[in-house]
Amino acid sequence: MGTHNYNLTEQFEFTGKAKTLSIIAIVVGIAAIGYGFSAEALHERTFANLLLMAYYFACVCMSGAFFLAVQFVAQAGWSASILRVPQAMAKVLPIAVVILIVVMGLGLYTHNLYHHWHADGLTDPSSPNYDKLIDGKSAFLNVPFFMARQVIFLGVYSIFALLLAKLSNNEDLHGGLNSYRKSFKYSCIFLVIYGFTTPIFAFDTVMSLEAHWFSTMFGWYNFAAMWVSSLATIAIIIILLRKSGYMSWVNNSHLHNLGQFIFGFSIFWTYVWFAQFLLIYYANMPEETVYFYIRFEHYEFWFYLNLILNFLAPVLLLMDRDNKRQENTLLAVSIVVLIGHWVDYYQMIMPGTVAEHHAFGFIEIGIALGFVGLFTFTVLSSLSKKPLIAKNHPFLQESLNHHL
Amino acid sequence: MNNIKYILGSFGDPDEMMHGIDKLQENNIKIHDVYTPMPIHGIEAKLGVKRSRLDIAAFFFGITGTCTMLSFVYFAAAYDWPINIGGKPHFALPDFIPITFELTILFCAFGLVGSYYASTHLFPGRAPRVMDLRATNDRFIIAIDAKENAEHSKIDDLLKEAGALEVKYNERKYVSYE
């Protein structure tokens, strides 16, 4: 056991360049939304982008809570000193949830989103719009039940996220093992709920944009995407904090572990992506291939870019042990993975909304930047409220001495 | 002329053994190797053991498997006996990804077992050669080459001082199970 002289009350100060840049990004985002709503023809595209980024924002934050729960349930020691970063992400989840629900509600109300299953006459046999398939699914895909599911799922995730953050706060104040034991118990419950409900959450939010098509792999495919993008976000925040002089206790072995996580779950993402693709390709049934047909016809560039950024880049760049331990390489790969999952969500959401009229311009970039700014602002301000290390965590010594 | 080839310091406690390594290194005595019944954290760095190249070997074994399967599938499905399956191209790559993946893993696993046997001289049917039998049970052994380090009594003192339970002078390199 080495002895260390780390400042265990170190606190992040959210000022200066980070604050200015995130506010500028938010302003750019608001400008992009304003521009998107200035012309009737751009409404659907704007809504699709808002859904994309709101979904991305919520997924990254809820996977922050998932990260915390996984660490508690695994009784992991290595991560004890970095838990405040996913905690800050988890604490922002309620904000993300409100934005996502507002976007979905407005999209449904104005018929810009989910018009595939939410339009007049789709379930009325006497109407010319009658759609037998949608009618058959209407017991599940109807607006009240849809919104109720969203509110309940996201509400439960938020409650558990805040609960885990609160328990960690109690641990700081009172010490002892009581908070840890409670965190363990609530994490177990949370993981079970999360595991069963995230696929349904992904079916609702993204898959129902193309309501005729369905895939049972879709939920896990989205779970892999949100989990790996969240891991990349955690790595980026930690590396940037380290570069600006905070969290001196984070050593190469911690980065190595995060790198292994990103590497492993990028492969897992590819695995579920491919499992979905291969079955559809091999069976070649029209009602299933329609999904990839539109992506090959109109999104070929994005389709291949998605695989390059999310599979080839992390696998080739993070395969070597030394690369995982180098903060600059890990930072670069994490950024590539984050952009890659934007591309991933882009080609999940756009074909079901704007279809062949998709574009990549100010609205896409602006809204993405706006949400990145919002995420940075909210997460960093919640990070600055508490010390950067949970000083009474029972495994803290193990984490400070972590060595691979 | 003494025929002592190796001096073995036998420790009952890993911390005392680590202390013994420090003592010997302070006195510029070169350590041949250390044998322990369990992995000890940080011992490779202390002894300056070179990093294993097994990962590089694994990569190349894996790539060999990938190439083997892709070429075989190309030969079988597109060259030797092309069959139209569901109107797909004869060499429909997505169909063959799972089997390619399996063969990559198979080659990698078999290759690594082979490399392990080759590098440790542990072939099936061959009696393992060890320097001290108790190193596989309850003792932590530091082995020092007696020909290179002449000050035998000094080594003996250093080992005993660090807590060695016994010091052996072996005239043969290995005591084998044979």
Q: Are residues B136 and B163 in the same domain?
A: yes
Residue A345 has pLDDT above 80, yes or no: yes
> B86 and A278: CB-CB below 8 Å?
no
Do B96 and B148 lie in one domain? The reply is no
Report the 10 Å Cβ neighbour count for A69.
Answer: 26
CB contact under 8 A, A321 and B59: no
Within-domain flag for A2 = no
Can you tell me the distance from the alpha carbon of B170 to that of B6, in angstroms, rounded to the nearest whole number?
5
The domain tally of chain A equals 1
- Provide the pLDDT for residue A3: 58
Look at residues A290, A270, A289 and name the one whose alpha carbon lies nearest to residue A279: A289
3-state helix, strand, coil split of chain A in percent (to 5) is: 75, 0, 25
Of B86, B88, B94, which has the smallest distance from its Cβ to A278's Cβ? B94
Q: Is B126 helix (H, G, I), strand (E, B) or coil?
A: coil
Show the domain range for A319.
Answer: 16-394
- Checking if the pLDDT of B1 tops 60, the result is no
Evaluate whether residue B60 is within a structural domain: yes
b (16+ CB within 10 A) / e for A147-174: eebbeebbeebbebbebbbebbeebbee
Token pair 């932590």 is at which residue? B140
Helix (H) or strand (E) holding A388: none
- Choose one of B80, B99, B120: the last residue of a domain: B120
Cα–Cα distance for residue pair A89/A57, rounded to 1 Å: 10
Residue A282: name the closest of B104, B78, B87, B73 by CA.
Answer: B87
- Does some domain include residue B85? yes
**Is there a single domain that holds both residue B61 and residue B94?**
yes
B21 lies in a domain? yes
Q: How many domains does chain B have?
A: 2
Question: Are A299 and A350 spatial neighbours (Cβ–Cβ below 8 Å)?
Answer: yes
Residues B71 and B111 grouped into a single domain: yes
Residue A321 in domain: yes
Q: Are residues B38 and B66 in the same domain?
A: no
Query: Which among B41, B59, B94 has the least Cβ separation from residue A281?
Result: B94
Query: Could you give the 3-state DSSP secondary structure of residue B141?
Result: strand
Instruction: Judge contact between A170 and A391, C-beta under 8 A.
Output: no
Burial code (b: 16+ CB inside 10 Å, e: under 16) for A269-285 equals bbbbbbebbeebbeeee
Q: Answer whether B42 sits within 8 Å of A403, measured CB to CB.
A: yes
A99 domain-assigned: yes
- Residue A331: band (very low, low, confident or very high) from pLDDT cuts 50, 70, 90: very high
Q: Quote the domain boundaries for residue B43.
A: 6-50+128-176
| Predicted-complex ipTM score | 0.81
Residues B25 and B63 occupy one common structural domain: no
Length of chain A: 404
Tokens of A231: 């891991």
A240-256, pLDDT tens digit by residue?
Answer: 999 998 998 999 999 99
Question: What's the token pair of residue A18?
Answer: 């980070």
Q: Is A391 exposed, middle or buried (0-12, 13-18, 19+ CB in 10 A)?
A: middle
Parallel/antiparallel/unpaired status of strands B6-11 and B140-145: antiparallel
Helix/strand/coil for B132? coil
Domain assignment of residue B42, yes or no: yes
Tally of CB atoms within 10 A around B119: 12
Rounded to 10°, the helix A43-73/A362-383 angle is 30
Q: Is residue B1 part of a domain?
A: no
Looking at the structure, do residues B148 and B102 belong to the same domain, yes or no?
no
**Which residues in chain A have Cβ-Cβ distances shorter than 8 Å to B98?**
278
Q: pLDDT band at A1, cuts 50/70/90?
A: very low
Q: Which of A343-347, A367-371, A386-390 has the lowest mean pLDDT?
A: A386-390
Is it the case that residue A352 has pLDDT exceeding 70? Answer: yes
- Read off the tokens for B122: 């542990």
Chain B residue numbers touching A276 (CB-CB < 8 A): none
| Nearest-neighbour CA in chain A from B133: distance (Å) | 30
Q: Looking at residue B30, which CATH number applies to its domain?
A: 3.30.70
Same domain, B98 and B74: yes
Distance (Å, whole) CA A87 – CA A93: 10
Q: Kindly report the average pLDDT of chain A as a whole number.
A: 92
Position B152 scores a pLDDT of 83
Which helix (H) or strand (E) covers residue B169, if one does?
strand B166-170
Same domain, B146 and B110: no
Of B42, B55, B86, the CB nearest to A284: B86
Average pLDDT over residues B32-37: 90
pLDDT tens digits, one per residue of A362-371:
999 999 999 9
Same domain, B58 and B115: yes
How distant, in Å, are the alpha carbons of A299, B18, B133 from that of B11? 67, 10, 13
Residues of A near B (Cβ–Cβ under 8 Å) read 274, 277-278, 281-282, 284, 319, 321, 403
In a domain, A403, yes or no: no
| DSSP category for residue A387 | B
Domain identity same for B46 and B133: yes
The answer to whether residue A351 sits within a structural domain is yes
**Token pair of A55 as six digits:** 């979904």
Residue A402 is assigned to a structural domain of this protein: no
